[in-house]
Structure 1
Amino acid sequence: MTLGRFYWLAVLLGIIWAVEIVNILMGYSLNRWFGLLPRSLGGLDGVLLMPFLHGSISHAIANTIPLIVLGSLLAITAQRLVLMASLMIVALGGIGVWLFGATAIHVGASGLIFGWFGFLVARGVVEKRAIPLIVSLGVVLFYGTMVWGVLPGQPGVSWQAHLFGCAAGIFAAYALRHSSQSS
């Protein structure tokens, strides 16, 4: 296994942190301009841009760790699927939030994180192959409590992004199941 498998993850994290620095310098105005605002044409660009925006440094840090862990698992076990799965998660999860989310500006990579969680867990079940099943069990053991994040609870946290991201990840695992036989 080469470090090249992780290049896309390093680029993703680099973009997130570059945007975070610019956002800090601009008083987080990027969130107002490019965050996802449900049922608003002006907030529709947030469907694709929401994962790159965060509400604070602590928010970006909190998302960085699971991005590294789950992204690394994807790089190791699903390299050929990661781009398509991620695009499906961001697009479908974001559209779900845009259609049904609370009227607030939604930002953060947690929809993608929950999508990767759903994808990795569902992939093991859908494919019924040894490596995806082992990864699925490991993800459930280490991150299984994430499932509670899809329920309403903590004010200021977009549980809708968690819910629709996870659902999109499960859908992606099912939709891409035949593409992954060589991954």
Structure 2
Amino acid sequence: MIKDVAKVSNFRWVLIMLALMWLLHIIGLVIPIPSHVLGLVPQSKSHLLGIITYPFLHSDWQHLIGNTLGLLISGYLASQLPCFKRSTAFIFLLTGALVWLFASYANHIGASGIVMGYFGFIMGSAVFRRNILSFLLAAALLVITHYFQINLFGTLFSFDATTSVSSHLFGFISGCIAAYLFRNVQIKK
């Protein structure tokens, strides 16, 4: 019973992130949100805040809806694993820091780095934890993304001019590192 409550509480964090994204996008229709200020521009000291704010900004409805679907799926599955909250904070900060340090110069916005971070966390948990829950979640993610024709592996190396391959790749790496770091943490009973 306690485990189930914790998992619902974990997924609530994903829903809060989504609510913030949608709220900011709707507000941005009335009052322009300065993505040039709140986005993440690599190696720009004036854009350090972007490490925290860039996942909440989206260029258009298609961008927001795509990340919403990915975040709902990967976020729900990742929320079933132990250390979800710590892993989320770790993925959030490490992805942003790596993009800021190593990405090509552009204004990076969108939650796809977090989506790919959860993807890495789920896949990494299957590799590092080697328990039935981790394997089932990884399999579920692969089946769901195949069914909805979402190519998560393909987006890791998408070189489309409008896609931040850096956010995708660094998010996935951050998720794998989180899975490794928290591999021995057990679900509280």
Aligned CA distance change for structure 1 residues 4 and 182 (closer, same or farther; 3 Å): closer
Please, what is the CA RMSD of the aligned residues?
1.8
| TM-score calculated relative to the size of structure 2 | 0.87
Are residue 180 (structure 1) and residue 186 (structure 2) matched? yes
Aligned CA distance change for structure 1 residues 102 and 5 (closer, same or farther; 3 Å): closer
Q: Choose which of 156, 165, 170 in structure 1 pairs with 2:171.
A: 165
Give the Cα separation in 2 of the matches to 1:179 and 1:134: 18
How far the C-alpha of 1:4 sits from its partner, in A, is 4.5
Are residue 40 (structure 1) and residue 53 (structure 2) matched? no
Give the Cα separation in 2 of the matches to 1:105 and 1:126: 34
| TM-score calculated relative to the size of structure 1 | 0.90
Structure 1 residues 112-131: aligned runs within 5 Å: 112-131=114-133
Count of residue pairs brought into register by the alignment: 180
Gaps of 5+ in 1: none
Identical columns (%): 28
Q: Which residue of 2 aligns with 1:22?
A: 27
Q: Which residue of 2 aligns with 1:149?
A: 155
Give the Cα separation in 1 of the matches to 2:28 and 2:42: 21
Whether the aligned pair in 1 keeps the contact of 2:10 and 2:85 (CA below 8 Å) is: no
Which string of whole-angstrom CA distances, capped at 9 and with x for unpartnered residues, describes residues 59-116 of structure 1?
11110011111111123x22x4221111111111111111111211000000000000
Give the Cα separation in 2 of the matches to 1:92 and 1:115: 10
Q: Where has structure 1 moved over 4 Å in runs of 4 or more? A: 2-5
Gaps of 5+ in 2: none
Which string of whole-angstrom CA distances, capped at 9 and with x for unpartnered residues, describes residues 109-142 of structure 1?
0000000000001101100111111111222344
Secondary structure in 1 matching 2:180? helix
Aligned CA distance change for structure 1 residues 165 and 4 (closer, same or farther; 3 Å): closer
